[in-house]
Chains A and B, each alone.
Chain A
Amino acid sequence: MITLTDFLIVSAALFCIGLYMTVSKRNAIQILIGIELILNAAILNLVAFGKYDKVNNSGQIFALFAIVLAAATTAVALAIILNVYRRYKTIDPNDITKLRD
């Protein structure tokens, strides 16, 4: 039997890898991938705990909501990244230091 603790450890590891990517990468797309990893770790936790709620399915339904939210975030974030690239010709967050005017 797979216990809850196993799932929690896997999702903790994924969360920390995502955190490392978000903090250290110098490319906006890779930072986005790190954020997706963090979201997936959260979804794994929701799904693992949702196993113990057969009547209301709260865990699984909120996992679905989290997936939809992730899709919405990615669409907006990629639109922003493309705009930033058009203006600055780079997507390194360290180089983007100027305001519009």
Chain B
Amino acid sequence: MTLLRVLFYFLSFIAIVSALYAASSKNLVRSIFVFFVTLFSLAGLYVLALADFVAVTQVVIYVGGILVLILFAFMLSGKETLNVLQKQEGKFLSMKKLPAILLAVLFFVVLINVVFKANADNLPWVRDAISLKNEITPKDIMIDNIGVNLMTRYLLPFEAISILLLVALVGAAHLSRKEGKA
């Protein structure tokens, strides 16, 4: 039990620190590659929340797909993107960024307040789930259940999302077409 907590703190520490570094870094390439680390540690956190299938999907789609796409966009948009960043030299806490930092910190305070007021561990439906043994335990294998649910209970959102993916694909292809012919 304690090992679980240590692992949780370790992974969440890595996730938050690497996200902070990605946010504060002026170098775009570093920011992208540190985002890798954030995504991997988030996949670890999903495993600790007993959602191993979501963790694997996260690694496949985010790390294998989205980050490669972002790297491609960065490489295709050339040196100019780096020059934008090099211009704004200065300290970590410059006056220009103060409103953004203030916004983020105040929002964090509000969120933490809400989390502690909501007292999520004593929500009625969570307690019901624990008493009815409707809670996922580490010994359960949920993947077959997810597959069955995806094809029965959640079939409509599944189909809707497949159409949306098709629309996004066609839209992205249309947007990145050569101009002039349009």
Contacts and interface: CB of A to CB of B under 8 A. Distances in A.
A16 B164 contact: no
A40 B73 contact: no
Interface residues of B, number: 90
Interface string A47-78: 11111111111111111110111111111101
Interface of B: 1, 4-5, 8, 12, 15-16, 19-20, 22-23, 28, 31-32, 35, 38-39, 42, 45-46, 48-51, 53-54, 57-58, 61-62, 65-66, 69-70, 72-74, 76-78, 80-81, 84-85, 88, 96-97, 99-101, 103-105, 107-108, 111-112, 115-116, 119-121, 125-126, 129-130, 133-136, 140, 142, 145-146, 149-150, 153-154, 157-158, 161, 164-165, 168-169, 171-173, 175-176
A11 B99 CA distance: 22
User: Which applies to chain A's interface (DSSP): helix, strand, loop or mixed?
Assistant: helix
Contacts of B146: 57, 60-61, 64
